[in-house]
C-alpha cells in the first residue's frame, strides 16, 4: 500500500465520523493522543497578544490550540469580525453556520461578520476525532460547543478590556451588536476595544447562552458566500493563478493498477506550450505519464497525443456482469456474522418475502473537478487544495517530498462539491501532485504546478461508491409482526486498506456497509451477514455512505411488509417506531404538511413514504409520483427533518433540496458505473446520469423544532428519497422495484 506511513501516524484511531460510528475504546488511544501532526497552533491573529505563545495542549489548567480565540477571531478597527473556519465548505453552508455560532455568543453585529478558511493546523482539528476534516455530517455537530466557547471567550475578553478602560466590573457591562455599554452610558465598539482585549487573559471557562437567548442562531440567514458564488467572483481551487504556474495533466492507465510499459512522447512534446513529459508514480501502485504545460489546453492536447503501452500483468480486469453474478451467488451463502436471531419461524410464517436488490457502482462527479496546486521550495512546500482531509493531505505531501508536516503549509480553498470524493484516505490527486513536484525538483525544475483532473479522468479512474447486492428473507404474521429476518449484504469494504481499518473494520466486517440495517430503529429480529469480495475497483464513501443502499432496501421492505398485511404504510411505520420520539415527530410533521391520507391525488398518482435516520438526524418524506409514458415521474416531495436545533434553517432547507435531488439521481436510467474487461464504460455526464433542474420536483421542507444540540444535515436527506419514490411507484404499478437505477 502506498500510504502505510499514514497508518503509523494516525495510530489505531479512525474517522468514525464518516459513518456515524462512535470511537472504539478498544483502540487504547484517547482523542488527545490521536494524530499529533499538523502545522502548528494556528494564526496569531485577532485578540491574542502579538508574538505571545498560546498555551500548549494537554497541560492541565491550560487550553488546547482549538480553544484559543486567537486562531479563530480577528477584529478590525472598523468592527469587522472575521471568523477563521477550520473546515472546508463543499456546499454544506459551514462557511456561514459556524460564524453564526461564534457571532451569537460574541454578541457581534452580524452585518459585520466575515469568514475565511483556516490552513491545516492543530487548532482546527476536529475536537472529537483529532484530525482536520469534513465528513459524516459532523461540521456543526462536533464543533458546536467549541465555536460557541470561542465566541463566548472573545466576548469575555472584550468586556474585560472595557471594564479596565472604565474602571468598572465586567459584570456591570452589556454587549449587543458589536458594542459594549456601561451603566453610566459608556460606549465602545468591538473595533475600538480589540487591541486592548488582546492583552486580556483568555478565560478557561465561560457561561454559554441558553437557546432562548440566541439572536442569530436559529434565524434563517443568507449565506456569506451566496453573492460571490452567484456573481462568479468566488475563487475555487481550479481558479488558482500564480506567477509562473504550470498546468499538469496525467495520463492514467485504463485498467486500475496497471503500469507504463513504454511510451513515446514525440508528438506530445511537439505541441506548443508543452514543457515536460515524464513517468510518475500514481496512487494504488500504478504509474502514469505527467504532461506539464503553460496552460490546460496544450496539456490536454499533448496528453491525447501520447503513445503508451500498458503493462497489465497480474492486474484483475473487473467486469460488472460477472461481478453481479458472483455477488448474487455469495448472497445465498453464509457470510461474516454481524447479528444473530432465531430463524426457526421463517419457513412456517403466514407471509414470506424473499427479495434480492442490486445497487451499482456510483461516481461522485462534483461540479468542480479535482485539482491541487503545489509550490515546492527548498525545505518548504505550500499547497492550495479543496481538501476534506487537510491533516491527511498535509501528511501525504510531507511524506512524498521527504518533509516534516510542519514544513508543508496547506491552504484550504472553497470547493465546488465533494460528496466524499475530496476525503480520500490515500489522497490520490494530492499524492499525484506531490509526486509531480518531486520529479520536477529532481530534474532541477522549480515553480508552482496545478494538477488538474478532467471530469472524464474522475469518472473513468477515480473512486466509487461500491456495488452491492442485498438478499432478504422475511417471515411475518398476519398482523405484520416480523417473526424472522435473514439478511445478507455483499459489497466491497471501503475501509480495508485505509488508515481507518484498525478502528472501523471489526471482526472482518466494515461497519459502514451495514449501517442503516444493523442499527435500524425498527429493531426487527435479524440475522445479518456480509461478504466483502476483493475487487480491483477503488471504492470510497459517497454522500451518506452505507445509507445510500441500506435505506433503499429497508424502507422498501418495510413498505412491502405493510402492504402485504393490508396496513397503511404510514401507520405501520408509526407503530413500529413507537419507541423513537424523533422518528415519530418527523413522521407526524410530514404527514400533516403533505396532506397524506387527506389530500386527493390526481388519477394515476400515489403517495410514497419513507423515514430514515443517518448521522443522528431523522428525515421523513412523503412523495407524490406517477408513471407518464412508461417513465417514472416525481411530482412533489414534502420533507420533515429532525436535526435537533437548526443553526441556520435556510441552509438546512438548501441541504435537503440538494440531498433529495442527488437521491433522485440514483433512480434515473444511466445513473451507474459499469466495467467491461477492467475498463469503466462511462466518461462524463453524457453517459453517466445525474439529476438536473429538469427532474426537480416541487419541494417543501419543514424542520421539527428542538433546542437540543444540533446534529448533521449534509447527508441525511439523501437516503430516504429513492425508497419513498419506489414505494409510490409500487402503489401505482403494483410492481416492487428492487434495483437502482429504476428498471420499469
What residues are paired with 264 via a beta bridge? 307
CA distance 220 to 670: 37
CA distance 626 to 522: 28
* 24-33, 281-290, 617-626: segment of lowest average pLDDT: 24-33
The pLDDT value recorded for residue 426 is 76
Q: What percent of the chain has pLDDT over 70?
A: 92
CA distance 609 to 611: 7
pLDDT mean across residues, the chain: 91
Q: What count of other Cβ atoms lies within 10 Å of the Cβ of residue 620?
A: 30
CA distance 47 to 71: 9
pLDDT one-digit tens code per residue, 297-332: 999 999 999 999 999 999 999 999 999 999 999 999
The pLDDT value recorded for residue 372 is 98
Q: Using H for helix, E for strand and C for coil, what is the string for 642-691? A: ECCCCCCHHHHHHHHHHHHHHHHHCCCCCCCECEECCEECCCCCCCCCCC
CA distance 120 to 86: 8
Helix (H, G, I), strand (E, B) or coil at 581: helix
* 39-43, 60-64, 95-99, 424-428: segment of lowest average pLDDT: 39-43
- For residues 334-359, give the mean pLDDT: 97
CA distance 107 to 122: 27
Instruction: Decide if pLDDT at 102 tops 70.
Output: yes
CA distance 181 to 188: 7
The pLDDT value recorded for residue 504 is 86
| Ranges of H-type helices in 515-667 | 547-564, 569-576, 581-594, 649-665
List Cα–Cα distances, 712 to 135, 139, 140, 155, 218, in angstroms: 10, 7, 7, 27, 15
Q: Of 504, 557, 554, which Cα lies nearest the Cα of 532?
A: 504
The pLDDT value recorded for residue 61 is 58
**Which residue bears the cell 452567484?**
230
**What are the φ/ψ torsions at residue 45 (nearest 5 degrees)?**
-120, 175
CA distance 352 to 171: 69
List Cα–Cα distances, 139 to 144, 499, 657, in angstroms: 8, 21, 19
**What are the φ/ψ torsions at residue 605 (nearest 5 degrees)?**
-100, 155
Q: Of 141, 467, 267, which Cα lies nearest the Cα of 133?
A: 141
What's the Rg (C-alpha) of the chain? 27
Q: How confident is the model at residue 30 (pLDDT cuts 50, 70, 90)?
A: very low
The DSSP output letter for 66 is: G
The pLDDT value recorded for residue 612 is 98
pLDDT one-digit tens code per residue, 586-605: 999 999 999 999 999 999 99
pLDDT one-digit tens code per residue, 602-644: 999 999 999 999 999 999 999 999 999 999 999 999 999 999 9
pLDDT one-digit tens code per residue, 438-458: 999 999 999 999 999 999 999
The answer to whether 303 and 268 have CB atoms below 8 angstroms apart is yes
Q: Which three cell numbers stand for residue 649?
A: 434553517
The pLDDT value recorded for residue 427 is 76
The answer to whether 316 and 253 have CB atoms below 8 angstroms apart is no
The pLDDT value recorded for residue 674 is 98
pLDDT one-digit tens code per residue, 682-718: 999 999 999 999 999 999 999 999 999 999 999 999 9
The answer to whether 635 and 604 have CB atoms below 8 angstroms apart is no
pLDDT one-digit tens code per residue, 478-501: 999 999 999 999 999 999 988 889
Amino acid at each position: 500500500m502506498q500510504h502505510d506511513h499514514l497508518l503509523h501516524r494516525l495510530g489505531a484511531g479512525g474517522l468514525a465520523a464518516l459513518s456515524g460510528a462512535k470511537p472504539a475504546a478498544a483502540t487504547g488511544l484517547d482523542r488527545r493522543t490521536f494524530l499529533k501532526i499538523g502545522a502548528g497552533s494556528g494564526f496569531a491573529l485577532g485578540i491574542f497578544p502579538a508574538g505571545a505563545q498560546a498555551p500548549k495542549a494537554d497541560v492541565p489548567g491550560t487550553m488546547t490550540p482549538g480553544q484559543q480565540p486567537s486562531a479563530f477571531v480577528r477584529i478590525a478597527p472598523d468592527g469587522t469580525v472575521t471568523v477563521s473556519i477550520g473546515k472546508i465548505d463543499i456546499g454544506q453552508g459551514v462557511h456561514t453556520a459556524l460564524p453564526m455560532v461564534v457571532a451569537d455568543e460574541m454578541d457581534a453585529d452580524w452585518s459585520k461578520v466575515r469568514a475565511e478558511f483556516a490552513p491545516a493546523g492543530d487548532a482546527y482539528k476536529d475536537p472529537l476525532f483529532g484530525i482536520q476534516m469534513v465528513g459524516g455530517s459532523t461540521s456543526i455537530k462536533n464543533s458546536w460547543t467549541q465555536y460557541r466557547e470561542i465566541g463566548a471567550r472573545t466576548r469575555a475578553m472584550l468586556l474585560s478590556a472595557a471594564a479596565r478602560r472604565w474602571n468598572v466590573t465586567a459584570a456591570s457591562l452589556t454587549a449587543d451588536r458589536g458594542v459594549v455599554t456601561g451603566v453610566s452610558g459608556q460606549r465602545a465598539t468591538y473595533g475600538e476595544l480589540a487591541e486592548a482585549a488582546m492583552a486580556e487573559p483568555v478565560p478557561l471557562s465561560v457561561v454559554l447562552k441558553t437557546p432562548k437567548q440566541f439572536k442569530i442562531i436559529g434565524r434563517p440567514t443568507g449565506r456569506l458566500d451566496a453573492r460571490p458564488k452567484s456573481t462568479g467572483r468566488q475563487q475555487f481551487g481550479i481558479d488558482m493563478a500564480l506567477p509562473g504556474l504550470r498546468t499538469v495533466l496525467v495520463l492514467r492507465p485504463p485498467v486500475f493498477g496497471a503500469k507504463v510499459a513504454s511510451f513515446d512522447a514525440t508528438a506530445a512534446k511537439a505541441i506548443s506550450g508543452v514543457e515536460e513529459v515524464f513517468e510518475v508514480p500514481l496512487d494504488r501502485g500504478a504509474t502514469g505519464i505527467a504532461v506539464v504545460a503553460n496552460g490546460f489546453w496544450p496539456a490536454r492536447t499533448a496528453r491525447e497525443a501520447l503513445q503508451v503501452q500498458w503493462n497489465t500483468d497480474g492486474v484483475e480486469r473487473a467486469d460488472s456482469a460477472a461481478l453481479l453474478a458472483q455477488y448474487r451467488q455469495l448472497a445465498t451463502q453464509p457470510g461474516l456474522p454481524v447479528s444473530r436471531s432465531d430463524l426457526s419461524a421463517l419457513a412456517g410464517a403466514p407471509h414470506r418475502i424473499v427479495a434480492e436488490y442490486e445497487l451499482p457502482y456510483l461516481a461522485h462527479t462534483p461540479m468542480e473537478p479535482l485539482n491541487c496546486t503545489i509550490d515546492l521550495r527548498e525545505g518548504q512546500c505550500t499547497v492550495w487544495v479543496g481538501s476534506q482531509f487537510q491533516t491527511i493531505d498535509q501528511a501525504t505531501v510531507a511524506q512524498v517530498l521527504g518533509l516534516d508536516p510542519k514544513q508543508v503549509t496547506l491552504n484550504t480553498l472553497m470547493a465546488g462539491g465533494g460528496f466524499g470524493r475530496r476525503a480520500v484516505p490515500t489522497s490520490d490527486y494530492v499524492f499525484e501532485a506531490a509526486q509531480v513536484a518531486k520529479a520536477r525538483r529532481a530534474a532541477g525544475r522549480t515553480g508552482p504546478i496545478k494538477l488538474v483532473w478532467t471530469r472524464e479522468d474522475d469518472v473513468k479512474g477515480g473512486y466509487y461508491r461500491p456495488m452491492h447486492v442485498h438478499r432478504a428473507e422475511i417471515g411475518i404474521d398476519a398482523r405484520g409482526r416480523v417473526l424472522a429476518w435473514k439478511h445478507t449484504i455483499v459489497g466491497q469494504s471501503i475501509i480495508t486498506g485505509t488508515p481507518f481499518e484498525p478502528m472501523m473494520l471489526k471482526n472482518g466486517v466494515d461497519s459502514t456497509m451495514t449501517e442503516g440495517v444493523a442499527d435500524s430503529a425498527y429493531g426487527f429480529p435479524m440475522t445479518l451477514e456480509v461478504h466483502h469480495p476483493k475487487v480491483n475497483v477503488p471504492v470510497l464513501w459517497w454522500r451518506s455512505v452505507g445509507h445510500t443502499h441500506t435505506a433503499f432496501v429497508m424502507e422498501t421492505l418495510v413498505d412491502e411488509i405493510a402492504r402485504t398485511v393490508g396496513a397503511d404504510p404510514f401507520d405501520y411505520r408509526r407503530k413500529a417506531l413507537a419507541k423513537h420520539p424523533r422518528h415519530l415527530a418527523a413522521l407526524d410533521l410530514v404527514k400533516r404538511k403533505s396532506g397524506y391520507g387527506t389530500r386527493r391525488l390526481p388519477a394515476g398518482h400515489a403517495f410514497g413514504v419513507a423515514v430514515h435516520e443517518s448521522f443522528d438526524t431523522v428525515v421523513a418524506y412523503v412523495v407524490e409520483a406517477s408513471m407518464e409514458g412508461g417513465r417514472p415521474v416525481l411530482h412533489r416531495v414534502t420533507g420533515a427533518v429532525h436535526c435537533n436545533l437548526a443553526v441556520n434553517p435556510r441552509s438546512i432547507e438548501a441541504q435537503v433540496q440538494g440531498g433529495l435531488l442527488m437521491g433522485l439521481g440514483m433512480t434515473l436510467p444511466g445513473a451507474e458505473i459499469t466495467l467491461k474487461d477492467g475498463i469503466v464504460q462511462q466518461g462524463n455526464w453524457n453517459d453517466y446520469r445525474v439529476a438536473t433542474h429538469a427532474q426537480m420536483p416541487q419541494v417543501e421542507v419543514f424542520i421539527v423544532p428542538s433546542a437540543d444540540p444540533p446534529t448533521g444535515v449534509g447527508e441525511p436527506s439523501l437516503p430516504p428519497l429513492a425508497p419513498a419514490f419506489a414505494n409510490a411507484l409500487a402503489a401505482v404499478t403494483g410492481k416492487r422495484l428492487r434495483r437502482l437505477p429504476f428498471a420499469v
